[in-house]
């Protein structure tokens, strides 16, 4: 009994052998996949889903669910880090690179506001979305992404805190200037690098 409790309680937050250096400062190891949403989970059928790239661009583009699935998909093995202090290691998603989505778009600004069905927004510099650092994903560990985790599709930006990975993603608007999204207007850092502990405004 006491052995069960000491392993179950204390052990949960210790990373497996050799993985400690993949946990950023102030984070703990989480084996599960917690759900964190501000507000209700939208009931979004893939037929109602689309993704658009607009704003200050040479050419705005959009894809229906079917059109999106003509694009090249890639597997994305990654670790993810939530500002509420859990880190999940060795997980994987599958989706389309933002580099692919920006092909032919000709972005004219250096920043983006990512927006979701339901109204969530989050801001990122374009350099954090390009060169193999961000994807629009539709699968998690070989299964369709569940609604609570952002299905049918979410943004995935594993190198930044997970609030930047907008669930039920609907598009990205290229901007000339960096402007705060939902959490960034409510005290969260404009950038959000977990290795620098960029959690809140003054970090």
Ligand X SMILES: Nc1nc2c(c(=O)[nH]1)N[C@H]1C(S)=C(S)[C@@H](COP(=O)(O)O)O[C@H]1N2
Cβ partners under 8 Å of residue 48, min gap 6:
none
- Binds Mo ion by CB under 5 A, chosen from 163, 168, 182, 188: 163
CB 79 within 8 A of CB 89: yes
**Distance, CA of 26 to CA of 171 (rounded, Å):** 32
Rounded to an integer, what distance in angstroms lies between the CA atom of residue 154 and that of residue 41?
Answer: 13
Q: How many residues bind Mo ion (CB under 5 A)?
A: 4
Instruction: Decide if residue 19 touches ligand X (CB under 6 A).
Output: no
Among 162, 181, 194, 199, binds ligand X (CB under 6 A): 162
Residue 91 near residue 76, CB atoms below 8 Å: no
How far apart CA 150 and CA 189 sit, in angstroms, is: 22
Which listed residue (29, 129, 163, 184) binds ligand X by CB under 6 A? Answer: 163
User: Exposed/middle/buried for 34, CB within 10 Å: 0-12, 13-18, 19+?
Assistant: exposed
**Does residue number 166 form part of the binding site for ligand X (CB under 6 A)?**
yes
- Residue 114's SS3 state is strand
Nearer to ligand X, 103 or 148 (CB): 148
Do you know the residue count of the chain?
A: 203
Site string for ligand X, 117-156 (x = CB under 6 A): -x-x----------------------------xx------
Residue nearest to ligand X (CB): 120
Least separation, in Å, of the C-beta of 34 and ligand X? 5
Among the candidate windows 15-23, 59-67, 130-138, 157-165, which touches ligand X by CB under 6 A? 157-165
> Given the complex with ligand X, which of 101 and 156 has the nearer CB atom?
156
State the minimum distance, in angstroms, from the CB of residue 115 to ligand X: 9
Tokens standing for 137? 């994903």
The contact set with ligand X (CB under 6 A) reads 34-38, 82, 116, 118, 120, 149-150, 162-163, 165-168
């Amino acid at each position: 009994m006491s052995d069960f409790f000491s392993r179950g309680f204390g052990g949960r937050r210790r990373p497996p052998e050799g993985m400690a250096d993949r946990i950023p400062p102030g984070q703990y190891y989480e084996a599960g996949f917690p759900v964190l949403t501000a507000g209700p989970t939208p009931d979004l059928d893939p037929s109602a889903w689309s993704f658009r790239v607009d704003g200050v661009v040479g050419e705005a583009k959009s894809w229906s669910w079917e059109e999106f699935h003509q694009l090249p998909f890639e597997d994305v093995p990654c670790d993810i880090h939530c500002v509420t202090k859990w880190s999940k290691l060795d997980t994987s998603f599958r989706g389309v690179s933002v580099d692919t989505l920006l092909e032919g778009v000709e972005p004219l600004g250096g920043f983006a506001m990512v927006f979701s069905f339901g109204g969530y927004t989050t801001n990122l510099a374009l350099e954090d979305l390009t060169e193999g650092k961000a994807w629009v994903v539709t699968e998690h560990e070989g299964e369709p992404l569940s609604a609570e985790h952002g299905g049918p599709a979410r943004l995935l930006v594993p190198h930044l805190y997970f609030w930047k990975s907008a669930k039920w993603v609907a598009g990205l608007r290229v901007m000339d200037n960096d402007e705060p999204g939902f959490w960034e207007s409510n005290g969260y850092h404009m950038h959000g690098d977990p290795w620098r502990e960029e959690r809140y405004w003054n970090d």
